Amino acid sequence: MRRLFALATVVALSACGAPATDDGTTLVVKTFSQFGYEDLYREYEASHPGVKIKEENIGKLGDYTPKLQQWMQTGKGAGDVVALEEGILVQFMAKPDQFVDLREHGAASLEPNFLPWKWKQAVSGDGKIVGLGTDVGAQGMCYRKDLFAAAGLPADRSDVGALWPTWDAYIEVGKSFKGAKFFDSAGGVFQNVLMQQGDHTYYDTSNKLVIDSNPGVREAWDTTIRMVEAGLSANVDQWSPQWNAGFKNGAFATIPCPSWMLGTIEKQAGPELKGKWDVTRVPGDGAVRGGSFLAVPKQSQHQKEAAELAKFLTSARGQTAAFKSRNNFPSSPQAIDDPVVREFTNPYFGDAPVGKIFGESVKALKPVYLGPDNIAINDRVVNALTAVEQKKLTADEAWSKAVADAQRLVK
């Protein structure tokens, strides 16, 4: 009972009153998922007396997005530095006025610190710098070494990578593969293929919807459909329990994996599969999926200090530290070439040189322009693919539906 009372007191105390503000500045950093900045905050506080940093994190991106919108709509609550996932960033790029133009805080000279396409994503049409890149979702292909060996295929990562210079080759390997489905779900693979199809996807660079006229989108769609029709997909929704279980029970033999997914695989597949999962290059010329930016909202009371902090966190050194902490793959070429990153190996994946594999994937990539409703449209295309996997629509019906949905959305 006394325990309970003590707990109630703690609750009452914590409920009553924001942290006391002394004469120093408290900068609030809003993040989702894991950015791995804890050590960097401490370091920054030490070198900037009077500055305190408080991170307010929301685990799920899906929970973070409505909150972000609510902060922006009401002009309150966004804190001083706010993390923007790339799909959300593009929503803001057409109307970047809610964020501080970081040119005012000397960010223009930082361009060489970022991969060119990453840099451009956060620069508005009239040259405003809206955000600074953090990580990129560098892609590799994770695969089950033991299942490959059992299927009579080479299992060594460089031999496996050589099996699929292209997605067509990947499909051929999949067709002859026995013992498990070849990959987890069409949606994830589609995204990978799509991001390798030239410099734009659903929108052209003047924000016109070109989903039905851009041959790249159709190409990625057709490629994915061929995989579905060849029966390669296990049709398990990403992040669902059966997807989690699939890593362990061998429901699928390969999965395109961004760098941050390695931790997931390790945890889910468990220690008994150590060394059975491995990682190699992805078919085609590199790929990314996701990645984020830091921006300073206009509503911040400490714009100057916040901009300095954002610059520090996205510097090559900051990105390297975040990579070490959470495997968020850097968007800074200097960080990518940093020996800490380049020589990083992952013991769970048979000491795979993941720093090198992902680095090559990222550097090979050409910039892709996304456009305002990119995420919403992609959601609809992925849903259409799922309907094909569920055999609820033919490929043609699904394609027409995806295009019609996208057009209705943009109208």
Partner 1 sequence: MMVRLTLAVAIALSAFPLYWLFVVATRANDVVGDWPPPLLPGPNLWDNVGRLFDAEQANFLLGMGNSALSSAVVTVSVVFFSSLAGFAFAKLRFRGRNALLLVILGTMMIPVQMGIIPLYLIMVELGWQNRLEAIIVPSLVSAFGVFLMRQYAEKAVPDELIEAARVDGCSTFRIYWTVVLPALRPGAAVLGLFTFMGTWNEFLWPLAVLEADNPTVQFSLSQLSTTYYTDYTLMFAGALVSTVPLLVVFVLFGRQIIGGIMEGAIKA
Partner 2 sequence: MKTFSERFSPYLFVAPFFVIFAVFGLFPLVYTAWVSVHEWDIAGQGGFVGLDNYVMLFSDPDFWNATCNTIGMLVLATVPQLFCALVLASLLNQKLRGLTFLRMGVLLPIVTSVAAVGIVFSQIFDRDAGMANGLLGLAGFAPIDWHADKWSSWTAIATMVNWRWTGYNALIYLAAMQAVPRDLYEAATVDGASKVRQFFSITVPNIRPAILFTVIMSTIAGMQLFTEPLIFGQGGFAISGGSLRQFQTLSMFMFEKAFRDFDYGYGSAVAWLIFLMITLLAVVNFLITRRSR
Q: Which stretches of the chain bind partner 1, using CB under 8 A?
A: 7-8, 10-12, 14-16, 18, 33-34, 56-60, 63, 66-67, 69-70, 73-74, 76-77, 239, 241-242, 244-245, 248-249, 264, 267-268, 270
**Helices 303-314 and 38-47 sit at what angle, rounded to 10 degrees?**
130
Alpha helices, DSSP H, located in 52-154 = 61-74, 86-93, 116-121, 145-150
Give the x/- contact pattern for partner 2 in 54-93, rule: CB under 8 A.
Answer: --------x--xx--x--xx-----------------xx-
Task: Count Cβ neighbours within 10 Å for each residue of 192-231 and write b for 16 or more, e otherwise.
Answer: bbbbbbeebbbbeeebebbbeebebbebbbebbbbbbeee
Three-class secondary structure of residue 293 per DSSP:
strand
CA 375 to each of CA 63, 172, 245, 381: distance values in angstroms, whole numbers, following the listed order: 15, 30, 27, 10
**Helices 86-93 and 374-389 sit at what angle, rounded to 10 degrees?**
130
Min dist. Cβ of residue 76 to partner 1 (A): 4
In the complex with partner 2, which residue's Cβ is closer, 25 or 268? 268
> Exactly one of 28, 382, 403, 406 binds partner 2 (CB under 8 A); which one?
382
In the complex with partner 2, which residue's Cβ is closer, 124 or 325? 124
Six-digit token pair at 4? Answer: 């309970």
Which residue type is seen at 38?
A: E
In the complex with partner 2, which residue's Cβ is closer, 49 or 241? 241
Q: Which does 10 bind (CB under 5 to 8 A by kind): partner 2, partner 1, none?
A: partner 1
Give the x/- contact pattern for partner 2 in 249-268, rule: CB under 8 A.
Answer: --x-----------------
For position 159 contacting partner 2 by CB under 8 A, the verdict is no
Q: Which does 91 bind (CB under 5 to 8 A by kind): partner 1, partner 2, none?
A: partner 2
Six-digit token pair at 373? Answer: 């409703």
The answer to whether 186 and 385 are in contact (CB under 8 A) is yes
> Rule CB under 8 A: which residues touch partner 2?
62, 65-66, 69, 72-73, 91-92, 94-95, 97-98, 236-242, 245, 251, 373, 376, 379, 382-384, 386-387, 390-393, 408-409
